[in-house]
C-alpha cells in the first residue's frame, strides 16, 4: 500500500474517530439563539423519541473534544487499522508492539524547555496599527492524563493543553481580554512490529491554528475523557466521553468545574499567531480569516516559521433538528443508503428511518459541500447562527492528489485560501484549462439567522512563482481579475482587489451572495512588446575632394620714373613706390 494512500486512510480514520466516536452521554439544555449572542448558539440536544435528524456544520466543533494523546495501532497490508491503544511514551508496551504510532498534540508556548514545535508569539493589532503582544499563557485544562513529553530527536512535539492568554486592551464581547490559542497537530510514525523506535521520526501531517475569545465560567463541567478501543463505544476505535451536566458545546475547552465560554471578537482588531516547526510543512493552507498577511520562512536552525495575521470573519452555522417525515426525499435517500458519517446519537440506527442522530461534518471538502447542498432546501436556505471565527489549517497531502503539478510538487507552503462560506473546497483552486482560470467552489445559506442576506468573502494568496508555473508566465508583472458565477448561471458583482508584493500574488473578492457560487480568478500577462530594430540607413558616400589646379602666376616687371630717376620693380603684382609713376 502506498505511503500517500495509507496517510489518506489514517487521516480519514482520525476524522471518523473524532466525529464517529462521539456519543452525547450527558443531557444538556439547548440555548436559545434568540436570547444569546451567536457565539453561544449550540444545536438543541437530540429530541426524545425515534425518527429525529440533524446536520451540524460548524468550524472547530471537535477542538473542544480531542485532547493531546498518543496511541498505537497496526495497519495491515490492505490499510485496515486495528484497534487503538493509548501510550504514555513511545516505549509503552503497545507502542512497542504495534507498527504505527499517532501523536496528537496541542503545541505549547516556546521556552527553554520547548524550543521547537511550539507557539513563538501571539498578538493583536489595534485600528491604529499598534501591536499588543499577548502575555501570561496558562494551560487550560491545567493538566490531563494523556499529555506527553516531546522529543526533538524523533520530531515528536510536546502534547499538552491549549493555552489561555491575556491581550491588554483587546476587550472582547465578554468584557474580558482572555483568548485561547489552540495549535493542534497530528503526527505519525511507522516502524516494525515488536520493536522500539530507533532512527524513525514522526512526520507532522496536519496542523490547525485557532484563536477564540473566552471567558471562564463555573458550572457542572467535567473534563473530556479520551477513550481508546478498550473503553470506547462498540464499533469505534477511539472517541471522547462527555460527562458535563451543563451545556458545554459553546465551550472552547472544558476543565473540571469550569468552561472557557466562547465570546465575540472585538471590532477593529486583527490577530496574529507565529508557530515554529522542526519539520517543514508543504502544500496549502486554508481557513476562516479575512485579509490575511502570511509569512513563511526558514530560520538559521532550518526550522519553518509560519506567521499569519488577519481579521476574524463571520461564518454561518447549521444545526436544526427535523422529524423524519418532514425531511426532503433526497435526505431520506441519503440516510437509507447508509451514507451518514459520524456524529452524535445512536450509531446502530443512524441509517434507519427510526434513528435519532445528528451528523457532524467538517466545513471543507467536496463531501461536506455535497452534504450541505442536500440540507440547504431543508433549512430553507437560512443559517442557524453566524459566529465570528479565526482559524486556519494545513491541507493534508492526500487531499492534493488532483492538484496542479506546480502546487503538488512544491517543497514549501505555496498558497492560502480563506472564505466565510459555511463549506468550501479546502484545496487549491482548480485550474480550468478551457477558460484559463483558477476556479473555486463555496456554499452557504443565502440568509443569516436574522433573515438578512449573507455576504461572502474570499481571499487567495499564492506564491507568484507558482502562479507563473501554472500559467507558463515569465517574470513580468501579472494582471488578474475575479468573476463570481452564481449557481443560476448569472454573474455577480463583487468588490475586488489584486496585488503582487514580496513574492505573493493576492486576490480578494467581497460582497457576493450565496448559496453555491463559483469564484474564478483569471491571470493574464502582457506579451512582451517586440523590439523594433530600425533598418540601417545606407551611408551617404563622402565626396572626394575636388582639387582645382590654378595656372602658375608669373612675376611681372614695371618701370617707374620720378624726374630723371628711373626704377624697375619686379613682383606678382608690382606697384611703383610713392612719388614714382609707372612709365609706358
With b for 16 or more beta-carbon neighbours within 10 A and e for fewer, the 390-413 pattern comes to bbbbbbbbbbbeebbebbbebeeb
Q: Are 400 and 409 in contact (CB under 8 A)?
A: no
Examine residue 409 and state whether it is found in any structural domain, yes or no.
no
pLDDT at 141: 92
Q: Are 270 and 311 in contact (CB under 8 A)?
A: yes
- d(Cα 440, Cα 371) in Å, to the nearest integer? 18
Helix (H, G, I), strand (E, B) or coil at 195: coil
DSSP state of 75: B
Are 108 and 118 within 8 A, CB to CB? yes
What span, in angstroms and rounded, lies between the C-alpha atoms of 583 and 565? 12
Structural domain range at position 226 = 3-400
- In this prediction, residue 130 carries a pLDDT of 97
> How far apart (Å, rounded) are the C-alpha atoms in residues 283 and 21?
29
Task: Retrieve residue 458's grid coordinates.
Answer: 474570499
- Residue owning grid cell 489549517: 393
Helices (H), 302-437: 329-336, 366-375, 405-408
Decide: 278 and 202 in contact? Cβ < 8 Å: no
Q: Look at strands 118-125 and 108-109 and give their pairing.
A: parallel
Residue 566 falls inside a structural domain: no
Taking the C-alpha atoms of residue 31 and residue 384, their distance in angstroms, rounded to an integer, is 12
Spatial contact of 294 and 416, defined as CB atoms under 8 Å apart: yes
pLDDT at 580: 74
How many angstroms from the chain centroid is the CA of residue 479?
23
Are 485 and 520 spatial neighbours (Cβ–Cβ below 8 Å)? yes
3-state secondary structure string, 217-254? EECCCCCCEEECCCCCCCCCCCEEECCCCCCCCCEEEE
Give yes or no for a cis peptide into 496 (omega within 30° of 0). no
What is d(CA 11, CA 20) in angstroms, rounded to the nearest whole number?
A: 13
Residue at 312 is within a domain? yes
Model pLDDT, residue 314: 94
Which contiguous run of DSSP H or E holds residue 84?
A: none
Is there a domain that residue 512 lies in?
A: no
Q: Which of 163, 220, 160, 165 is nearest to 185 (CA)?
A: 160
- Can you give the pTM of this predicted structure? 0.79
- List per-residue pLDDT tens for the chain, 584 residues long: 333 434 333 334 333 333 333 333 333 433 333 457 888 988 877 788 899 999 998 876 666 778 899 999 998 777 677 889 999 999 999 999 999 999 999 999 999 999 999 999 999 999 999 999 999 999 999 877 899 999 999 999 999 999 999 999 999 999 999 999 999 999 999 999 999 999 999 999 899 999 999 999 999 999 988 888 888 666 667 778 888 999 888 999 999 999 999 999 999 999 999 999 999 888 888 999 998 988 899 999 999 999 999 999 999 999 999 999 999 999 999 999 999 988 888 888 999 999 999 999 888 888 999 999 999 999 999 999 999 999 999 887 767 777 778 888 888 888 888 999 999 887 788 888 888 888 889 999 999 999 999 999 999 888 888 888 888 888 888 888 888 988 777 888 777 777 888 888 888 888 899 888 889 888 887 766 665 665 655 555 555 444 444 444 556 777 877 777 777 777 667 777 777 777 76
N-terminal to C-terminal alpha carbon distance within the chain: 136
Q: What angle do CA 502, 312, 399 make, to 5 degrees?
A: 70
Asked if residue 473 belongs to a domain, the reply is no
Residue 466 lies in a domain: no
In a domain, 172, yes or no: yes
320 lies in some domain: yes
Helices 329-336/366-375 angle, 10° precision: 130
How many domains does the structure of the chain reveal?
1
Determine the length of the chain. Answer: 584
- Give me the sign of the Cα torsion angle 224, 228, 230, 234: positive
Amino acid at each position: 500500500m502506498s505511503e500517500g494512500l495509507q496517510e489518506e486512510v489514517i487521516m480519514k480514520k482520525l476524522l471518523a474517530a473524532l466525529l464517529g466516536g462521539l456519543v452525547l452521554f450527558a443531557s444538556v439544555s439547548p440555548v436559545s439563539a434568540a436570547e444569546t449572542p451567536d457565539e453561544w448558539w449550540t444545536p438543541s440536544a437530540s429530541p426524545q423519541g425515534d425518527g429525529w435528524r440533524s446536520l451540524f456544520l460548524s468550524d472547530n466543533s471537535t477542538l473542544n473534544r480531542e485532547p493531546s494523546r498518543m496511541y498505537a495501532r497496526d495497519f495491515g497490508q490492505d490499510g485496515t487499522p486495528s484497534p487503538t491503544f493509548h501510550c504514555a511514551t513511545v516505549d509503552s508496551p503497545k507502542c512497542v508492539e504495534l507498527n504505527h504510532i499517532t501523536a496528537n498534540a496541542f503545541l505549547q508556548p516556546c521556552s527553554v524547555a520547548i524550543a521547537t514545535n511550539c507557539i513563538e508569539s501571539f498578538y493583536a493589532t489595534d485600528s491604529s496599527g499598534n501591536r499588543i503582544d499577548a502575555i501570561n499563557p496558562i494551560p487550560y485544562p491545567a493538566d490531563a492524563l494523556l499529555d506527553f513529553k516531546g522529543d526533538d530527536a524523533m520530531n515528536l512535539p510536546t502534547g499538552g493543553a491549549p493555552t489561555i492568554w491575556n491581550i491588554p486592551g483587546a476587550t472582547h464581547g465578554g468584557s474580558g481580554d482572555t483568548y485561547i490559542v489552540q495549535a493542534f497537530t497530528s503526527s505519525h510514525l511507522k516502524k516494525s512490529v515488536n520493536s522500539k523506535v530507533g532512527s524513525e521520526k514522526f512526520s507532522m501531517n496536519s496542523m490547525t491554528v485557532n484563536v477564540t475569545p473566552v471567558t471562564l465560567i463555573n458550572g457542572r463541567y467535567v473534563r473530556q475523557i479520551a477513550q481508546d478501543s478498550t473503553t470506547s463505544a462498540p464499533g469505534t476505535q477511539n472517541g471522547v466521553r462527555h460527562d458535563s451536566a451543563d451545556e458545554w458545546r459553546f465551550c472552547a475547552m472544558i476543565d473540571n468545574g469550569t468552561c472557557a465560554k466562547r465570546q465575540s471578537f472585538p471590532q477593529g482588531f486583527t490577530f496574529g499567531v507565529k508557530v515554529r516547526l522542526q519539520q517543514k510543512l508543504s502544500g496549502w493552507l486554508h481557513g476562516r480569516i479575512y485579509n490575511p498577511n502570511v509569512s513563511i520562512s526558514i530560520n538559521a536552525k532550518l526550522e519553518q516559521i509560519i506567521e499569519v495575521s488577519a481579521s476574524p470573519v463571520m461564518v454561518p452555522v447549521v444545526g436544526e433538528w427535523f422529524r423524519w417525515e418532514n425531511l426532503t426525499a433526497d435526505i431520506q435517500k441519503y440516510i437509507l443508503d447508509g451514507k451518514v458519517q459520524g456524529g452524535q446519537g445512536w450509531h446502530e440506527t443512524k441509517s434507519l428511518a427510526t434513528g435519532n442522530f445528528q451528523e457532524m461534518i467538517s466545513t471543507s471538502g467536496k463531501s461536506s459541500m455535497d452534504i450541505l447542498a442536500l440540507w440547504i432546501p431543508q433549512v430553507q436556505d437560512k443559517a442557524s447562527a453566524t459566529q465570528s471565527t479565526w482559524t486556519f489549517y494545513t491541507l493534508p497531502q492526500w487531499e492534493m492528489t488532483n492538484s496542479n503539478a506546480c502546487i503538488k510538487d512544491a517543497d514549501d507552503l505555496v498558497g492560502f485560501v480563506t472564505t466565510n462560506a459555511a463549506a468550501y473546497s479546502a484545496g487549491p483552486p482548480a485550474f480550468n484549462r478551457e477558460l484559463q482560470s483558477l476556479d473555486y467552489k463555496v456554499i452557504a445559506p443565502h440568509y443569516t439567522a436574522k433573515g438578512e442576506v449573507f455576504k461572502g468573502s474570499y481571499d487567495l494568496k499564492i506564491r507568484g512563482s507558482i502562479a507563473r508555473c501554472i500559467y507558463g508566465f515569465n517574470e513580468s508583472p501579472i494582471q488578474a481579475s475575479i468573476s463570481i458565477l452564481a449557481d443560476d448561471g448569472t454573474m455577480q458583482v463583487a468588490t475586488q482587489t489584486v496585488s503582487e508584493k514580496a513574492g505573493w500574488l493576492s486576490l480578494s473578492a467581497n460582497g457576493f451572495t450565496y448559496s453555491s457560487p463559483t469564484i474564478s480568478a483569471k491571470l493574464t500577462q502582457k506579451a512582451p512588446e517586440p523590439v523594433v530594430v530600425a533598418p540601417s540607413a545606407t551611408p551617404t558616400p563622402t565626396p572626394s575632394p575636388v582639387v582645382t589646379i590654378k595656372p602658375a602666376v608669373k612675376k611681372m616687371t614695371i618701370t617707374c620714373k620720378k624726374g630723371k630717376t628711373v626704377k624697375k620693380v619686379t613682383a606678382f603684382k608690382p606697384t611703383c613706390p610713392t612719388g614714382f609713376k609707372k612709365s609706358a
